[in-house]
Chains A and B, each alone.
Chain A
Amino acid sequence: MAKGKSCVVLPFLIGFVGALIVGWGLFPKLLYSEKAQPIRFSHKVHVEDQGMACDECHTFREDGSFAGIPTTEECAECHAEVMGEDPAEAKFVEEYVNEDREVPWLIYQKQPDNVFFSHIAHQDFDCTTCHPDVGNSDTPPVYYENKISGYSKQTMKMWQCERCHAQNGASNACYVCHK
Chain B
Amino acid sequence: MGLDRRGFITFLVGGAVGTLFTPVPWKLADDVSIWSQNWPWIPKLQYGARSEAPSLCKLCPGGCGLSVHKVGKRPVTAQGNKNHPLSQGGVCPLGSSAVQLLYRPARVKGPLKKNNGRFEAISWEEAAQIVADNLKGKKIAALSGDENGSASEVLAGFLKLLGSDDFYFMPSDAQVSQRAWSLMEGKGQLGFDLENSDYVLILGADILSSWGPVVRNQKAFASRKGKFVYAGPVQTGTAATVDKWMPVYPGQEGVLALGICYYLLKMGKSASLKNFGLVRDYILSKYTPSVVEAKTGVSAAQVQKLAQDLVKASAPCVLVGSDFGQGSGAFEWASGILVNLLLGTLNQKGGLVALPENKVITSAPWRSELNQKSFLKFLDEVEQGKAVDGLLVYEANPLYALPQPEQVKTVLEKIPFKVSFSTFLDETAMACDLILPAPHFLERFDDAYTPFGVGQEIYSVAAPVIEPIFSTKSTPDFILEVANKLGVDLGFASFEEVLQAKAESLGTDLESVSAEAYTSDKWLAQNSLSLPVEILATGLETEGEGVFLAPVARNYLGNTKQALTPFEVVVVKEFELQKKDFYIQVNKNTANKLKLKQNGKVKLQGAGGECVARVNITETVMNDVIAAPLGFGHQAWDEFAKGKGDNLFKVLSVKEEKGSGLKVWNRSQVKVVRA
Contact = CB atoms under 8 A, between A and B. Distances in A.
Interface of A: 3-4, 6-20, 22-24, 27-28, 31, 61, 63, 65, 67-68, 71, 112-113, 146, 148-151
B5 to A, nearest CB: 11
B6 A8 contact: yes
Nearest to A23: B22
Contacts of B27: 27, 31
B239 to A, nearest CB: 42
Contacts of B14: 11-19
Given A15-B10, A19-B16, A61 B34 contact: no
Closest 7 interchain pairs by CB?
A23-B22, A15-B14, A19-B18, A15-B15, A12-B14, A11-B11, A16-B18
B44 interface: yes
A161 B35 CA distance: 20
B24 A14 contact: no
B22 A24 contact: yes
Interface residues of B, number: 36
Contacts of A3: 1
A17 B18 CA distance: 7
B223 interface: no
Interface of B is mostly: helix
A23 B24 CA distance: 6
B21 A11 contact: no
Contact of A15 (B12, B44, B50, B72): B12
Contacts of A65: 49-50
A19 B17 contact: yes
A148 B31 contact: yes
Given A12-B13, A15-B15, A20 B22 contact: yes
A148 to B, nearest CB: 4
B11 A15 contact: yes
Nearest to B8: A11
Contacts of A13: 14
5 contacts: A8-B6, A19-B15, A19-B24, A20-B18, A151-B34
A19 B45 contact: no
B308 interface: no
Given A18-B15, A24-B22, A11 B44 contact: no
A11 B31 contact: no
B74 to A, nearest CB: 12
A116 to B, nearest CB: 10
A7 B4 contact: yes
A113 B11 contact: no
A96 B50 CA distance: 22
B17 A27 contact: no
Contact of A67 (B11, B23, B37, B49): B49
Interface string B271-309: 000000000000000000000000000000000000000
Contact of A146 (B3, B31, B44): B31
A24 B26 CA distance: 12
B44 A113 contact: yes
Given A12-B10, A16-B15, A61-B50, 15 more contacts: A3-B1, A8-B6, A8-B10, A14-B14, A17-B18, A18-B15, A19-B22, A20-B18, A22-B22, A23-B18, A65-B50, A113-B44, A146-B31, A148-B35, A149-B35
B32 interface: yes
A65 B8 CA distance: 59
B19 A19 contact: yes
A23 B21 contact: yes
Nearest to B20: A19
Nearest to B44: A113
B120 to A, nearest CB: 30
Contacts of A61: 49-50
